[in-house]
Structure 1
Amino acid sequence: MTTALTLVTGAGDDGKRVLTATGEIDMSNAGEFGAALDRELAAGGPVVVDLTGVTYLDSAGIAVLFDRATVHDLRLTAPRLLDRVLRVSGLARCAEVTIR
């Protein structure tokens, strides 16, 4: 059984747009994740993607992030659980990654 994905948007303390994801990101909800990220990116400026509440991230979720990180200023905050997948996939070379 998969954990539902919850997406919350808002502004961080520094005024940057923040998309906070909680749960699992996989092929069943990658489109929803991508659409939410696109809405934040449309507002302009860097977008912080807070993945600290994400417990699973498959290749569909990585693809969503890659597609946008090569064109936009994405800043990812992720739990140690996702550190390896972000680095091995090469995403850490396309986006600023902070591990918490």
Structure 2
Amino acid sequence: MTTALTLVSGPGDDGARVLSVTGEIDMSNAAEFGAALDRELAAGPAVTVDLTGVAYLDSAGVAVLFDRAGERDLRLVAPRLLERVLRVSGLTQVTKVVIR
């Protein structure tokens, strides 16, 4: 059974935008995740995506992050559970990733 995706946005301690994500990110909700991330990127120059509440991230979710990384100030905070996926996918090479 898939855990519902929850997206909560707001300002972080450093003034940058934060998108806190809980649940699972897969092809069934990747577009919703991407739209929420796009809104945050439009609201400010830097966005931290807090993935510490994410239990599953498939290739559709990785693609959403890749599509928005690189030229933008996108930072990921992720649980150890997602470390391998982020490293093997190459996301750690194109954006800042903090594992907690």
1:19 aligned partner: 19
Matched residue count? 100
Give the TM-score normalised by structure 2: 0.98
Deviations 1:52-73 (A, max 9, x none): 0000000000000000002311
**Distance in 2, Cα, partners of 1:87 & 1:46:** 21
Q: Structure 1 segments of 4 or more deviating over 6 A?
A: none
1:2 aligned partner: 2
Give the drift of 1:85. 0.4
1:40 aligned partner: 40
Give the drift of 1:23. 0.3
Deviations 1:9-38 (A, max 9, x none): 000111110000000000000000000000
Unaligned 5+ segments in structure 1 are none
**Amino acid aligned to 1:4:** A
Is the partner of 1:2 in helix, strand or coil? coil
